[in-house]
Structure 1
Amino acid sequence: MPTADLHNDMDYYIEPLIFQVEDTLYRIPREYLSQESTIIRDMLQVPQSINSDFEGSADSKPIILQQIKATPFRFLLKFLFNPDGPGHLGLSKEDLITLLELSRKWDMQIIRNKVINQLQPLLEGDPAHKWNLAKEYGINQWLQPALERLIRRSEPLGEWEYLMLDQDTFLAVAAIRESCYPVFMDTVNDYFDSEVTDISHWELREGRGAIDVNLSSITFECPRPAPYVDDGGADAESQSCDNIRAGEFYFELAVFKLGKCFYQVPNRPFTQHSPIFRRRFERLGFAKYDYENPCVLSSDISPTDFTNLLRFFFPPPQTTYKYTSEEWASVLRLASRWEMDAVKDLAVENLTKRGFGTSATKLQLAKDLGIQAWFSEGMQAIVTRDQPLAASEYQTLAPRYVVQAIDLRERGHTRYHQYIGQITHMRPERGELPVNISLSDRLAPLL
């Protein structure tokens, strides 16, 4: 038979092939990869003439594996070439996760199962990461144990759990945790000992309920908004001028430009209350801000807000005019932006007196504008009310405030004492939920 008519028996013709991953070459038997992956087996099943210079036959003509990194490929080869099993390789959790990704890409079910078995004991102390990997890689048998561990443990949910769980799961786990009630031994001494941990049993209730608890010792530190960057850069001509304006005490009419609209008003209230505008009006080289050279305002400022601020500085002549809550809110937004502290405090005072906005609205403004009183009020409302944290609040608050509120909610409990009556109690920690409390029904919607 002529040599040209010969071909390889792909099952019983063992030959090394040259693979290139990134800038590294590997020379390995094809069987080590093809027996583990149907994808690679199909890729290598193309018949080649026995004398041809086929792909993978030489360093100069390697089989190039695209979109694969050299490090995970090396881990995979270690896994395949290890005669004692994967447990002897000493791979870290991160290495195994890398292998898990590669086994998914190439549909290596045997490798995948081995990696999962190796990973499981490494993740026992990190149920949030275990849940995250289970969702990412379809490891369904991990889902319920991971959530159960998150709910049963005494340690509260933290920022790591916030990052690992999706929004709906995080909020659902938090709601279940706070509905797990420790029921105390019903003695008079319980009421006087705030550190009491003597618990007769636990209950899983429908919800936590509202609590009336003194939170004055808890600090809810309002986030500081990013400082406003004045985009009206220094005037080049100013460098050659010997004089400067007196800023706060250089009164003149000034023209402001917002979008296509011009406004001409005295500059006095702006320079008096805002260090940002004071610096602008102290700049050298301008005769004044006029129609030809206006004070240009940032395009993200609402014309309605600016008009309402002008109405505050230059009120209508009617002495009976009363500002609406919406107008005060405009004043508050721009006073905060331009560091008009006295004006900001006045706007907060008036809006507070009017009962402006919902707790969520005030919490959002407090976070955006740095209003400590409203922030504390909003956080206290979240902690003491019946309803658990909502998705809108989850999205409004930074992770550290979300986990602070959740921790306080699950430690706050109301119970009835046969001698004293209703007792609201902040426990030092929630405690460990025993295994005899079944969570199956509560967890079913999350699986």
Structure 2
Amino acid sequence: MSDCDKAKSEGELVNEGEPVNAGESVDIHFACTKPIYFQIEETTFAIPKKSLLDSEFFTSLLTSEHLGEPEEGTILNPIKLSGITKADMSGFLMVLESRSWEHPASLNPKQWTAALRLSTMWSFRLVRKYIIHRIEDFPTIYPVMRIELARAYNIPKWLHPMYVELCMRKESLSAEEGTRIGMSTFAALCRIREVIRNHQLRVYEENVARVKTCDHRKPDGRSFAKAPPPLCSQCFRSPGDDITEASILGLVTKAPDLAVPADNEIAV
């Protein structure tokens, strides 16, 4: 008898996402191939053992000789997990399943964040890399939130690019953002933004002075004191022309308060 046939005979669910009324709801994933059962809140999840062995945490758990009597992980004695919600687990399993079938999971930022937390906590190295890659392409996860995630889940490669983005944007940094990223980081970013602003003002003033004395275009007879002529297109350049992401990155990497931690593959 196959695992799925056995599940049917025991009154369990084979199709994902449809609970059964057998005392507790059971969510079956991956067509219940050799499932290990976990209980989160009021719901029992059935997850293939093969998928769990991609995790250092679950590999250690499932190979332990002290799973309990009777053996934990069965439908009658599921392994109880605390500190996470049913919604967190459902989103994480959607990621696991989408990787198996090579169809991108459709999750919102909150679900991706929860999936990142669980993949880090349980040491799913490959799944974690996949989630990080997907979050990088998610358009509505803004710099401050990405900085928070980078710090919480040890993704140092996100930090400097997000610092650069905050330095380059026109809008000022807010007090709320300062609270979220920390005052030392906030102050360092403000100092860099001030350097950029002073540079832009200096370049603008130098160009205006140069234009007033250039001979590329004759003044039209108006008094400079009353109405200076338009800026000369040959002399004047935008004060931001020589400010690039690379130059700002140079300022960021030299700021002690913006140093990034060592790039460990995973932090638990």
Coarse TM-score class (shorter-chain normalised)? 0.5 to 0.7
Q: Is the 8 A contact 1:18 1:62 kept in 2?
A: yes
SS in 1 for 2:112: helix
| Aligned mate of 1:39, from 45, 57, 65 | 57
Match of 1:69 in 2: 85
Higher relative CO (CA 8 A, sep ≥ 6), structure 1 or 2? 1
Q: Distance in 2 between matches of 1:77 and 1:101?
A: 13
Is the CA contact (8 Å cut-off) linking 2:192 and 2:251 kept in structure 1?
Answer: no
CA 1:55–1:167 in 2, change beyond 3 Å: closer, same or farther? same
Q: Report 1:267-346 matches (<5 A).
A: none
The match for 2:118 is 102
The corresponding residue for 1:145 is: 161
**Aligned partners of 1:152, 1:190: CA distance in 2, in Å?**
34
- Number of residue pairs the alignment of both structures matches: 199
Q: Distance in 2 between matches of 1:127 and 1:432?
A: 23
Maintained 8 Å contact 2:35/2:48: yes
2:37 — aligned with what? Answer: 18
- Cα-to-partner distance string for 1:63-114 (whole Å, 9 max, x where unaligned): 1112221111111211122233362x21111110111111121111111111
Which amino acid is 2:71 matched to? Answer: F
Q: Do the aligned partners of 2:150 and 2:156 also contact (CA within 8 Å) in 1?
A: yes
- Give me the whole-angstrom Cα distance separating, in 1, the residues matched to 2:117 and 2:54: 15
- Alpha-carbon distance, 1:40 to partner: 0.8
Report percent identity of matched pairs.
Answer: 24
| 3-state SS of 1:179 partner | helix
Is the Cα contact below 8 Å between 2:167 and 2:193 reproduced in 1? yes
Q: Any idea what SS the aligned residue of 2:247 has?
A: coil
Shift of the 202–167 alpha-carbon distance from structure 1 to 2, 3 Å rule, reads: same
C-alpha separation in 2, matches of 1:201 and 1:167: 32
TM-score, length-normalised on structure 1? 0.40
Which letter does structure 1 place at the counterpart of 2:74? S
User: Is residue 18–residue 57 contact of structure 1 (8 Å, CA) maintained in 2?
Assistant: yes
Separation (CA, whole Å) in 1 of partners of 2:88 and 2:226: 59
User: Which runs of 5 or more structure 2 residues have no equivalent in the other structure?
Assistant: 1-32, 213-223, 260-268
CA separation of 1:114 and 1:166: change in aligned 2, threshold 3 A: same
1:152/1:432 contact within 8 Å kept: no
**SS of the residue aligned with 1:27?**
strand
Structure 2 match to 1:345? none
Task: Report the secondary structure of 1:133's partner residue.
Answer: helix
Task: Call closer, same or farther: CA 1:168–1:78 in 2, change over 3 Å.
Answer: same
C-alpha deviations, 1:209-248, integer Å up to 9, x for none? xxxxxxxxxxxxxxxxxxxxxxxxxxxxxxxxxxxxxxxx
Partners of 1:134 and 1:166 in 2: CA distance: 14
What's 2:74 paired with? 57
Structure number with the higher strand fraction is: 1
- CA–CA distance in 1 between the matches of 2:194 and 2:112? 35
Is the Cα contact below 8 Å between 1:18 and 1:26 reproduced in 2? Answer: yes
Instruction: Give, in whole Å, the separation in 2 of the partners of 1:190 and 1:142.
Output: 50
- What 5-or-longer segments of structure 1 have no aligned partner? 1-13, 204-430
The code of the aligned residue for 2:102 comes to G
Task: Answer with 1 or 2: which has the greater Rg.
Answer: 1
2:37–2:44 Cα contact (<8 Å) kept: yes
